Amino acid sequence: MLKQERADYVRKRLDELYPETPIPLDHTDAYTLLVAVLLSAQCTDKRVNEVTPALWKLADNPYDMGRKKALTVEKIIKPCGLSPRKSRAIVDLSNILVDEHNGEVPQSFEALEALPGVGHKTASVVMSQAFGVPAFPVDTHIHRLAQRWGLSRGKNVTQTEADLKKLFPKESWNKLHLQIIFYGREYCTARGCNGLMCEICCECYPNRKTPPVVNSA
């Protein structure tokens, strides 16, 4: 298969496997999604969903969250890891939203990425899932699968994102990035598939004999 043929096959098969793409992180609005995505850095979505009910009980909007002490937030989110840094970012970004954005989550990449603790990937998730703006958030899992499927040889997630955006139509990005995550968790896991075992890997490279080298993100 040529690269574009592999991309077309991947999209078609993922549409068959995952016609619905529920957002993995529990949230009620753009603000709670933003905080949940921030918490998910180096943490599983399952763990985040276990922690956020207590956090939302403490504060589920930037006005209330901005008045909390970072240490109070830290105690709640500790199971998510990196809690000192994440708690400060949550309190600080809440105050910025109140002071500079009328308590609303801004609908632009530039404004989101200016917030504490919010990088391009987090901003992309919020823009795509909260506001429906075409984006292709790439984490280490998507980076790994894109390499195994021969869709990118990017040395980092930024290069991989650019490669994937060229291969797939813009209207598919928001759904596709979730579909790839779902497939990676279910079939093409980091340890469960080495590029030789899952359905898509085998279809893309039926004659592959040795595991592909995956550039670390």
Tell me whether residue 121 is one of the annotated catalytic residues: yes
Tell me whether residue 60 is one of the annotated catalytic residues: no
Q: Give CA separation, 75 vs 17, 20, 80, 81, 117, in Å.
A: 39, 35, 10, 11, 18
Q: Are 70 and 91 in contact (CB under 8 A)?
A: yes
Which member of 86, 121, 163, 175 is catalytic?
Answer: 121
How many angstroms separate the CA atoms of 16 and 82, rounded?
A: 37
Q: Can you say whether the dihedral through the CA atoms of 193, 196, 197, 200 is positive or negative?
A: positive
Contacting residues for 53 by C-beta, under 8 A, at least 6 apart: 26
Which member of 139, 163, 165, 170 is catalytic?
Answer: 139
User: Tokens 């991947």 label which residue?
Assistant: 10
Contacting residues for 64 by C-beta, under 8 A, at least 6 apart: 58
> Which are the catalytic amino acids?
121, 139
